[in-house]
Structure 1
Amino acid sequence: MRKKIAAILTGVFLFVISMTAVSQAQTAIHSGLNAKQQGMVTIAAFTARGDLERLKIALNEGLDVGLTVNEIKEILVQMYAYCGFPRSLNGITTFMNVLEERKAKGIRDEPGREASPLPAGKSSVKLGTEIQTSLVGVPVSGPVYAFAPAIDEFLKGHLFGDIFGRDILDFQSREIATIAALASMNGVNNQLRSHFNVGLNVGLTEAQLKSLISVLEARVGKQEADNAQEVLRAVLNNR
């Protein structure tokens, strides 16, 4: 009798453990990136890599899950600040071709809203300085910016003022795109580390960032995902 009771209790215990594991797995899935955010990851990654064939697939997928035309255009424009004008322009051209092909098939994609005007009476540098400080958490300075003040002005005025100041994408979306692009490039771990921190500052969760890396592993490459995982681990250990 005792053996039967012990066996029953063991079975119940194992069932509870199993259900807990299932529940935790489901929580991780649901707390990760949603379909639109996953679309941002692949669009940014393939633009940064210059992989136009896979970018074409990602653009179609992004539109299919509900990203608007203007949201995707905004991602592609932002990419020039991280991977250069040539790849950004190639991405935009690819997107134009995708839209033409979809239009020929009778697919009507949602244009989405336009960006609101930037604040009147405030320079791009002032606006960008405020945005950069809020994203990073402290005013940004350093020997690189003292050595080359022009790059500091361009970062504050153009990247954070003119680009991040546009409200078509929120800061979380912009960081998802930026992290995905940097993780897909070689030799930019310092910048990747910084943007993992910014992503956490703007409310992206650890689960969402790990979900982003999972998308990279599945769609971009294991090497890129493993590197991003190591950088994220270091960031989390230092916060």
Structure 2
Amino acid sequence: MKAIPLMMTIAARTGFGLLSALAIVPAAIGQPADPRAERGLQVITTLSDGAGQPVLDALRRDMPAFGDAVLTYALGDVFGSDALDIRTRQLAVVAAFAAQGNLPYLKIHAGYALNNGVKPQELLDIALVTTVTAGFPRAIDAAQALREVFAQRGIALPLAKN
């Protein structure tokens, strides 16, 4: 099988774009693959519930060195570490983005958190804690961002009391 059809097959099987498939093609054709890249792809598959990550694919296409750094370091090394379970890591990431006021990434990672067992109430509690760590304006922004994520997923507010 030639390289391009093989890459397309891998892309189709993994649910990732063609560029993301490039990280695992060497293993498929008998060459050693980068284990950090493979771990990064596994992480994004788990986080996104198999949907992939278009921003990562675009980075790897348009700025390969930067995209590969995200794949190998941020996803493969940091997010791929087993020191924290995925739920705890996603709660920490959402809290950090809430405190920074980085709403686009908060939304992405809130979705990943929901994909991996974090409850909507836990995310709302992160927004509440943000009032203490970063102030009410950042907390209100985080709550608004979570409202958008919940609406996209059909999660009605106010949440039912458990």
Q: How large is the Cα RMSD of the aligned pairs?
A: 1.7
1:163 Cα deviation after fit: 1.3
Distance in 2 (alpha carbons) for counterparts of 1:164 and 1:222: 29
Match of 1:156 among 49, 71, 74: 71
Q: Structure 1, unaligned stretches of length 5 or more?
A: 1-120
Which has the higher relative contact order, 1 or 2, with Cα contacts under 8 A spaced 6 or more apart? 1
The equivalent residue for 1:173 is 88
Moved more, 195-204 or 157-166: 157-166
The equivalent residue for 2:132 is 218
The equivalent residue for 2:147 is 233
The equivalent residue for 1:131 is 43
Amino acid at match of 1:131: V
Query: Sequence identity of aligned pairs in percent?
Result: 26
Map 1:54-73; keep pairs closer than 5 Å.
none
Q: Would the aligned equivalents of 2:37 and 2:71 in 1 still touch at CA under 8 Å? A: yes
The equivalent residue for 1:140 is 53
Match of 1:205 among 94, 115, 119: 119
Q: Would the aligned equivalents of 2:130 and 2:139 in 1 still touch at CA under 8 Å? A: yes
Map 1:104-123; keep pairs closer than 5 Å.
123=35
C-alpha deviations, 1:28-85, integer Å up to 9, x for none?
A: xxxxxxxxxxxxxxxxxxxxxxxxxxxxxxxxxxxxxxxxxxxxxxxxxxxxxxxxxx
How many residue pairs get matched? 118
Distance in 2 (alpha carbons) for counterparts of 1:176 and 1:161: 19
Work out which of the two has the higher radius of gyration on C-alpha atoms and give 1 or 2: 1
1:145 Cα deviation after fit: 3.5
Structure 2 vs 1, CA of residues 149 and 122 (structure 1 numbering), >3 Å: closer, same or farther?
closer
Q: Would the aligned equivalents of 2:99 and 2:133 in 1 still touch at CA under 8 Å? A: no
1:151 Cα deviation after fit: 2.2
C-alpha deviations, 1:7-26, integer Å up to 9, x for none?
A: xxxxxxxxxxxxxxxxxxxx
User: So what's the TM-score if we normalise by structure 1?
Assistant: 0.46
Distance in 2 (alpha carbons) for counterparts of 1:175 and 1:126: 20
